[in-house]
Chains A and B, each alone.
Chain A
């Protein structure tokens, strides 16, 4: 017991400071453990030779309006033939509904995505369980992958290959892998199965229309062609330069199809005939660049974890150094009575080892809890497993090694300082000075990191606040009602049901109401971003040229429902009238007055001449985390066709129950009684979409606050150490009439000089880190100065407070006492 008490004494003598250090070490080790798990079970699991890319592009056909549409299969083949190696890693991508029999349940419709060559694998997407299907056509084993949601619905069997999937009577497919949670494909509707195109019967994808084709297969082909209108090429985005070249070459390919009539009817169905050139879009708008985000967040986590570990270690070292003058007599006596320096070092090492070991189990537990949280949210949910394996002997060995190393590191410096103190010649003064320099150096590093971390935390917090308020226009009053196929209803065809008469639904929902509208779901996949060539009409003047512009189709009610207001002009009334947003004005360098009435012609086509009638305020439609793009807004009347929708935005005071009742009634009248209705407010949707950001903001914010506390504790410890060193000098000042306030100002000014240096270095570090935080910096640029000022104010206040706390003893000590102690 005495031995234990002896080991605990250095910590129990300063209980509050020890507890703080213990918590700081706990959090930093937990974060480090978390980072290691993400690296071990995520990044390092990627097979060798696979370099996850930043994103992907979609290659489709362009219709006469310049909008991207899917291609016919023959067009895809033409593109592949013509562009060949330019495409790089790519895959045919198509989504279709197929009647499948899964397990012993009767056959029903499932959403299937067809793709080649381990495409997800190359994107860096890690499989949740099992493996990807074989990419080598020669070794095809009728394999496919299943979605996490469906796997769960089927009772999440440990071995997914026990799930039997049958197409017709002969073809039995084997499920070899489960995709990660929340990954549902690139389209609107969640995908249940992923399979290689070669797995489908050969004729299905070849569109074989030769006369010797068996009538049955021809029939199947035609049915399949009608069912699969969506062919895209998904390619891995290497870099923007390649993408530009590819884009130029793709546009040169003539995709015009020969007449494809057979005795069974047209092969190429409506909507595809007019496609004659290829169009490339950088990524599908539906899907975030998961890998890029994962990498980005992993880097941030690494910075935070390492930063905290270094800071907490420095803080512990400062704490140990601060104690050294107090414990000096104890060590000196032991030394006089025969204890060698090695023995004293062993004592310090054991004390430190005990401290570190007491932290490890809880740190390990905390990291597991955080890991489980991360497995549920983007951007890690696609990347790391849901559950970790129980710890094995390897983990215990690693933990022991970490504890030994950390304890040794924490022992080395105090032991060196102690050896200086015990050396008869160098004396205490020299030890004090060396320790003082070290303490100041450590503390400067702490302050630098704390300043940088605090500033980043403020950026995160403010960005989150800005997103929440900006995207929450209309708040709780905006109800988003969408209709979906019920999970169990496998015969439901969402595409058909999306084509319901929305106007009729609206009129039944609220006759005569102006504040209701239909629209694509917020941040919709159907929003189109494309390169539009705009030419100004001479008589209306102004600049023109080629702009990277996004367009959107909305109706007025929907925009009004979301409180997206006109900042100038009026709402369009004719099909040739359009709105632009403020970002567009900035791009053109025009004022609102100058743009109103201006006419633009798209792609030189006379029939596509538009007049600007109004300017819409900036509002990021595709992702609240990004700044608004320069955008042309076509209203419903200007839109070439009615886009498919399954959502209504509603703003009003009607009770939610009543709203749902009326919508149900309206849907039933259109024969859509099988559909389930989902309701959420705009605020709820924004909250849901931002949950990942919120988790991270908490993590970054929390750790930076901890960093700040560590730095301030370090400042406190180093000021105390400095005071102990300067006792005699301070006593002399007091003896000749100095007031403690004079001395406080003196010490604070010394500390502030150090702080100013640390802040300057922090800004340099922040500049170096800018690429890492650029995503947050971009929309916050106007706020950078106020944020910077707030950060500086916070850190200055904290630093002055910590220094004054350390100096408080000056007010209670008499000059003679200080001179004597010095």
Chain B
């Protein structure tokens, strides 16, 4: 059984349909690229899979469990333990410094507070920013901010990383560094679903999914 299974997922917004009957599965430790032009529904699909939003129809199964009728608390716990999110705009909290931003998921993970610092430093070290723990997001470059966001996504040790165009706001050099980082993470066993419209980066994935107007393209495996 796959780690994540989506059955006929649809999402409607007033006056338009963002996704239409999407069925897809993702395996544990798999690196999957989600391709499509702007407005094709990539972000919506990522949000539905990561339980950041609710589908209008259909269901997402995680580890074989339906999430359709899950209570609010259970959904929050699943988000914290199973998924790490990386956004195109980084979405760091400006009032918090790097270490505090990274520690955000730990607040809700149940990890004892005295272990937070070690864990934060471990992941900041992994993304190469151990020396910037006290800096504020405004003091960092775009690439550094995205690396902080990746550390934040990883710190609670989720089973799957969901990245929504993580290189969209970065220059090509920095973008390549981020992709290399993702490859390393994948090699360490992390599952990855990365939305991108860059075919070069998508080519690095084990599997590619293509979305067009809210539907999966037929040639998608």
Contacts and interface: CB of A to CB of B under 8 A. Distances in A.
A739 B11 CA distance: 24
A816 B80 contact: no
B24 interface: no
Given A728-B91, A814-B54, A816-B53, A738 B107 contact: yes
Interface in A737-775: 737-740, 742
A356 interface: no
A816 B109 contact: no
B96 to A, nearest CB: 9
Interface string A251-291: 00000000000000000000000000000000000000000
A218 to B, nearest CB: 99
A815 B53 CA distance: 7
B108 A736 contact: yes
B72 A736 contact: no
A250 interface: no
Given A815-B52, A816-B52, A737 B91 contact: no
B52 A736 contact: no
Interface residues of A, number: 18
A537 interface: no
Contacts of A814: 47, 52-54
B72 to A, nearest CB: 7
A738 B91 contact: no
B53 A736 contact: no
Interface residues of B, number: 23
B105 A737 contact: yes
Contacts of A815: 52-53, 79
Interface in B59-75: 72-73
Nearest to A741: B73
Given A728-B91, A819-B91, A740 B72 contact: yes
What is the predominant secondary structure among interface residues of chain A facing chain B? helix
Contacts of B54: 814
Contact of A735 (B77, B81, B85): B85
A160 B73 CA distance: 81
B73 to A, nearest CB: 6
A526 B85 CA distance: 86
A657 to B, nearest CB: 70
A734 B75 CA distance: 10
Nearest to A738: B108
B208 interface: no
Contact of A742 (B47, B85, B108): B108
A729 B100 CA distance: 13
A815 B76 CA distance: 10
Interface in A196-253: none
Contacts of B47: 814, 816
Nearest to B47: A816
B147 interface: no
B152 A736 contact: yes
B53 A738 contact: no
A50 B80 CA distance: 77
Given A737-B76, A738-B108, A816-B53, 9 more contacts: A736-B105, A736-B152, A737-B77, A737-B79, A738-B107, A739-B72, A739-B76, A817-B53, A819-B87
25 contacts: A729-B93, A733-B104, A733-B108, A734-B79, A736-B79, A736-B85, A736-B152, A737-B76, A737-B77, A737-B80, A737-B81, A738-B76, A738-B108, A739-B72, A739-B108, A740-B72, A742-B107, A742-B108, A814-B47, A814-B52, A815-B52, A816-B47, A816-B52, A819-B87, A819-B91
